[in-house]
Amino acid sequence: MRQIVLDTETTGLDPDDGHRLVEIAGVEIANRQVLTAPENQIHLYVNPGRDSDPEALDVHGLTTEFLSQYPPVEDVIDQIIAFVSGAEVIIHNAPFDTKFLDAEFVRFGYKPFTDYCGKITDSLVYARELHPGKRNNLDALCDRYGISNEHRVLHGALLDSELLADVWLAMTRGQESLLMSFDGDRNAESEGIEVARIDTSGLMVIKASEQELAAHQAYLDKLADSNDAPPLWYEIEPKTTS
């Protein structure tokens, strides 16, 4: 399934109060890379036919005069559908954006926006599960994962979707420790991920010599003496006596 990271800007906080979209942007992720070709991105300003609330204007800076040169949202809905159709759409605080998108789509006789997506993933929910009790807005996540957002003076849908894509890749990069789980292959297969198999039947097995075993035993005994406790190795392989 294609993955798209999406963001919107609006005239206010709630479409039920008559607020509208003013900007929508998205970038596609494939093979854990953000795709930069024009066909893999969408960025649209739309004329909402009304002013933005002062608080919203302070966030995105898109004035009524600036937006008046762009088409209304009903003229670009088909472009949006073509871009997201069947994809997993990743949005930070998804209920906010999808409520606006659903409202705009239904207003002009379309099915809700979410019906055209293969899946909606809320990256804010994922971040809260990963970092409970911490700030998980986009700025905080950029700082946590070392992603530069110094150029983010105002919120913009394209810039925010690009930053969120980098954050999402950082949050989902997977195992970083040297510990391995042998259940991983089965979990990967259940998620439809192809797992490479290695045939170990032809590998040479080299056993430790008596001298090496004695040196190992002497090292464990030294650890036990210095720590006044047996090493953890004895829980796996009980000490042998000669």
User: Do 6 and 84 meet the contact criterion of CB atoms below 8 Å apart?
Assistant: yes
Catalytic site residue from 60, 131, 151, 155:
155
Number of domains into which the chain is organized: 2
User: Do 239 and 223 meet the contact criterion of CB atoms below 8 Å apart?
Assistant: no
In a shared domain, residues 158 and 223: no
Q: What is the pTM of this model?
A: 0.70
- Is 155 annotated in the active site? yes
56 is a domain residue: yes
What amino acid occupies position 99? K
In a shared domain, residues 145 and 210: no
Q: For residue 74, what is the DSSP state?
A: G
In a shared domain, residues 91 and 151: yes
pLDDT at 51 over 50: yes
In a shared domain, residues 47 and 138: yes
pLDDT at 148 over 70: yes
134 is a domain residue: yes
Range of the structural domain that residue 223 is part of: 205-242
192 is a domain residue: no
In a shared domain, residues 167 and 209: no
pLDDT at 108 over 50: yes
176 is a domain residue: no
Angle separating helix axes 157-171 and 123-130, nearest 10 degrees? 40
In a shared domain, residues 81 and 155: yes
130 is a domain residue: yes
Q: Please give the average per-residue pLDDT across 101-128, as a whole number.
A: 97
Sequence-ordered strand ranges (E) for the chain: 3-10, 21-30, 33-34, 41-45, 88-91, 119-122
Sequence-ordered strand ranges (E) for 53-167: 88-91, 119-122
In a shared domain, residues 209 and 150: no
Mean pLDDT computed over every residue of the chain: 85
Q: What is the CATH classification number for the domain harbouring 86?
A: 3.30.420.10
* Cα dihedral 61, 124, 163, 43 sign: negative
In a shared domain, residues 149 and 221: no
